[in-house]
Structure 1
Amino acid sequence: MPKMPSTFYQKIIHFFNLSDPDYVRFVRSYEAKTKKQIAFYLFLGLLPGLIAYLFTFPLREPLMKWTGLSSVYVQFIALVVMSIGWHMLFPFLMLRFKDGLSFKQSLVYLGFGKFDLKGILTVLPLLTALFTILSLPYMRYVYTPLFEWLNGFSALHMGEWHIFNQGYYDFPLPLLLVGLVGNFIGEEIYFRGYLLRKVGRLKFDWLWISFIFYFYHMWQAPINWALLPLAIVTPFEILVKLRKNIYVAILFHLFTNFLWGAITLYLVGV
């Protein structure tokens, strides 16, 4: 007879994993079923990043001349349109007109159905702490030389004109709020709420989406591509798969953007 898992192991699984078989069946019924369909959704993960790259690099100066806007505002508007218009609107349109889901069903599909207080208060802090600890050696010894190497390519170089160097958050409050919603909620809806569900039949689906998420940031490639190896330990997708909701991923996204960098800078100087 096969050996049964120990009681301790079962408790660990039960602690981290939120059992919701009805939700799992619901999501799986709309998964991509063929290799071509899966490849299509993986490509969709890269497409908005390619568009953002074009607006940030080759099209930025022509758009400045055409609109009269500054370099930083051209980049900001392009990123906001992508994050709000594409990341948030596209999944709802696809779920409505391709999959036939109502708006309420789409919210459930994307992970907004149940608020997960246990996941937020216990599982999220534990996995966040684990990720931070595991990332420290990489940030200390690998990240900086890899960033500098990538930033040496003219096609990827983030000059002083780049929105990252000008300040992502130095905008009037209304515009800033729109940008923040698109960044922290829009990206989670698109990548972890929509694409991760669609490629659920793919082996290591969480790792594929994690790699694609890092790679899609083509407009700031030296930063995010230098972090690409951390995709293995970044728990965005794992949190969503374990807890069956998107709230934990949104909060983890806030942590990585606002606190994680400060922690690694304090502990390892990067």
Structure 2
Amino acid sequence: MSDPGSNPIPPEQQEMPLIEHLLELRNRLLKMVLAVIVCFAFIYPFANDLYLWLSLPLRELLPVGQTMIATDITSPFFAPLKLALVLAVFAAIPVILYQLWSFVAPGLYAHEKRLAFPLLFTSVLLFYAGAAFAYYVVFPLVFGFFTAIGPEGIVELPDISSYLNFVLKMFFAFGVAFEIPIATVLLILTGATTPQDLAAKRPYVVVACFIIGMLLTPPDIISQTLLAVPMWILFEFGILFGRLAYRRVDDASEGESDSA
């Protein structure tokens, strides 16, 4: 009979009592909130300038002499404040995901850890890429369409709060849509589906992309297409990377079973 102390369990794999898990979760959440507060403290002094930058794609298309307005007396204060808070959360996403990773990592196998961290890092980059795509590609086309299609004699005076709500919705829609490769890889790795099954369902996925684009964007064909087409392309990338990750997991699982 082997000595129980001859093969000690690594500290990161030892089971923790429920209270310790809750305390660990509380500490991680506090660090996330602190990261958002720190980012907000740095961003808020520039909130007005950031709003002017954010509204630039629309203001450049307005006729000479027209500008944006505030229909609510509190909008000039709360619109930049809301923007600063949302940007603080966006800026703190790497810290938030790192804290989540640190909380769940001890319960993962070695091959899962090798894949989880790259997936987290890539998800952050893809979310930022989706927001950048919305600002630099989608906004000029969508706002150009809306400002050109209005009836003659109608003066456009966009409200700053309505504009902020619109662009934040678009940022969120495109940021989440650009996470499709991560979702595809996770579905494959968890065994919910296989790359072959996803490839066989490609026609349904294309239709679903256009339906989602219709629901998440304004009712115009330009913004719907600009969201649906990247979603389909990212789905194809997800299948490609899912096949590679699927093979790596199989190889790692076979190696662990052979060593056992």
When normalised by structure 2's length, the TM-score is 0.29
**CA radius of gyration, larger in:** 2
